[in-house]
Structure 1
Amino acid sequence: MSPILCIDRDTARDDEVLHLHAHPEPMLTWSSTATLRGTVAHRDWLIPPGYGLWVPGGIEHSGSVLHAGEMLTITFSPDRCPITWAEPTCFTVGSLLGEIITHLHRITPDDRSRPGAEALMLQLLTPLPAHHIHVTMPADPRIRVIAERLIARPADQRELAVWADQIHTSVRTLSRLFRAETGLSFITWRTHVRIRAAVPMLAEGTSVNATARAVGYRKPSAFIAAFRRVTGQTPGTYLP
C-alpha cells in the first residue's frame, strides 16, 4: 500500500497566508516556481523555486507566499511514512526528482508505474548538508519589504542608500535594523540570499558563469569567492 495519502498541486498567489496549524500527517512541500516562507518550530524557512521543505507530523507550522507561482504538497500516512527525518528539513528538487513528483501527481493510485516511481522519489530525496545557508527573515516591516523583494529577485543591485530613499528612512536606520533583526549586515545578508538562490541553479546544471549573472554578480570570480566564503566550497561542488 502506498505511503502517500495525496499529492496536491496549487498556484500560490502573492500575499496568500496559511495560518498556524498542526496535523498528524507528515508532508513535503516543493516549490517549482513560487517563493514561499514557512514557519516551522518557531523558525522561518525560505522555499525558493527548486527547493522543498519536509515537515514531520504533529509540528505546528504556518506559511505565506512571497512570490506567486506553482507549488506541490505531498501528504504521507503517519503510520506508513518511509521518511525518517525527525526535524524540519530542506532539500533541493532537481530535474529528475521534479519529473518523478509531477508523474506521481498525474497518475492514478493504481497505476502500475506508481510503486517504482515512489521508490525512486524516496531514493532521490536528499537533505541539504549541514552547511546549507539559512536566511533569517526580518520582522520589522521597514526592512521586511526589502528582504522579500531581494529574495524574489536576488540579482537586484540596489544598495542600502537607494532602499533608504525609497522607503523614506535613513541608511543608518536600515543598517541597524538589518543587523538587529538578522544578525548580519545588509551586504552579508544579501550575499547569503544570492548564494542560496544559486544552489538549485547549479544543481540543475546551469554553468557557474550563467548562475553568477542570474544572482547578481557581474564577474564569476566575485561569485566564486562569495560562494566559498558562505559555504566553504566552490560552486562546482554543486554541479551534477
Structure 2
Amino acid sequence: MRHVAKLDPELAKSVIAVGGDMHRGGTMGLHEHAEHLISWSATAMVSLRTATRDWLIPPTHGLWMPAGCPHAVEVFRPGRGYAVVLNAKNCPITWTEPTGVLITPLVRELIVHLDQHPEQDDTRATAVSLLLSLLEPVPDTTFHVPLPEDPRTREIAEALIADPADHRDLAMWAVHTHSSVRTITRLFAQETGMTFAQWRTHARVRAALIHLAQGASVGATARAVGYHKPGAFAEAFRRVTGQHPSVYL
C-alpha cells in the first residue's frame, strides 16, 4: 500500500470519477489531458496506445495516464468503463509514464463509489485518500506490447499487429525492409527488450485476447493469430500469461 501522509483537501474536491457505457469499435484519436487519468474498463476491453507502447486493458487492470501524455483509445469489447480524473498540480502520485495498476475488489468499489457519490463530504474525501493509497504499479504484462521506433522495425511491428497470422520469417522481413537479418535482430532487442520471435509471440497473444474477449473459441483464435494447432497456441499463451486461453473466454 502506498502511504499518503496527508491528502490535499482541494485534490479530494477535484477528483472526478465518471462511468459510462463503451461501445465496440469506438475510437478516440491521439489526444492528451491536462489532468492525470486512471482508465478502468469494468466489463469492457480497451486498447490505449502512445507513440511507443500499446496496452490492452482487461477488467482486472487499469492504466495510469500522466497529464500531457498523448494517447489513443479503441474499444474491442463493449461494456462499462470508468475514468478517474486527478488534478496534476497537487496529486501525491508522481508517476511520469503510463503505468499499469491492479484493480483489486476494494479499488473497484472505491471507483464505483466515487462515480455514484459526486457530492463532496467527509466520506468521499476518505474514499479518495484510500484509493490513492492503494494504487501500486504492476510489472508489464502481456497486455503491453512495446513498439520499436526505427522505421524498419516499426514497419514490421505495425504489419504484425494488423495481421498477427503473417508467417513471414525474419529473413523475409529483412528483405521486405531492405535490411539484414542481423540489423533487424539487433534493433528488436535494442528497442523492445525482446527477440523478434518473442515480440511476435506477445503480439499474437495480445491479438488472441481480443478474439477471446469477443467470444471466439480457442481453436478459431489460434488460427486467427497464426497457429495451425490449438495445442501450440495454448502453450505459447500459457508461457506469456501463465494461464490457459480458455480462462479469458
TM beyond 0.5: yes
Contact 1:66–1:148 (Cα < 8 Å) also in 2: no
Q: Which digits, 9 at most, give the CA deviation of each residue in 1:181-220, with x for residues without a partner?
A: xxxx96676336644xx6xxxxxxxxxxxx886248xxxx
- Whether 1:142 and 2:142 are equivalent positions in the alignment is no
Alignment match, 2:16? 6
Post-superposition offset of 1:161? 7.4
One-letter code of the match for 2:145?
T
Post-superposition offset of 1:62? 0.6
Q: How many residue pairs align between the two structures?
A: 183
2:237 counterpart (185, 190, 194)? 190
Gaps of 5+ in 2: 1-8, 147-156, 166-203
- Closer, same or farther in 2 for the Cα pair 1:112/1:43, shift >3 Å? same
- Closer, same or farther in 2 for the Cα pair 1:5/1:118, shift >3 Å? closer
Identity of aligned residues (%): 29
One-letter code of the match for 1:120?
L
Secondary structure of 1:100's match?
Answer: helix
1:40 counterpart (50, 54, 68)? 50
Q: Distance in 2 between matches of 1:134 and 1:80?
A: 30
What is the CA RMSD across the aligned residues, in angstroms? 3.3
Gaps of 5+ in 1: 165-173, 176-184, 199-210, 217-240
In the TM superposition, 1:1-240 aligns within 5 A as 1-3=9-11, 4-129=14-139, 132-136=141-145, 139-140=158-159, 141-143=162-164, 148=207, 150-153=209-212, 156-158=217-219, 162-163=223-224, 174=226, 190-191=237-238, 194-195=241-242, 214-215=247-248
One-letter code of the match for 1:136?
V
Q: Distance in 2 between matches of 1:193 and 1:13?
A: 28
Alignment match, 1:201? none
Secondary structure of 2:18's match?
Answer: strand
Alignment match, 1:207? none
Contact 1:151–1:193 (Cα < 8 Å) also in 2: no
Q: Distance in 2 between matches of 1:194 and 1:33?
A: 20
- Closer, same or farther in 2 for the Cα pair 1:42/1:54, shift >3 Å? same
Contact 1:150–1:193 (Cα < 8 Å) also in 2: no
Alignment match, 2:190? none
One-letter code of the match for 1:143?
P
TM-score normalised by the chain length of structure 2: 0.62
Contact 2:53–2:144 (Cα < 8 Å) also in 1: no
Post-superposition offset of 1:92? 1.1
When Rg is computed on C-alpha atoms for both structures, the one with the higher figure is: 2
Q: Which digits, 9 at most, give the CA deviation of each residue in 1:91-111, with x for residues without a partner?
A: 111111111111111113322
Post-superposition offset of 1:143? 2.9
- Closer, same or farther in 2 for the Cα pair 1:54/1:163, shift >3 Å? closer
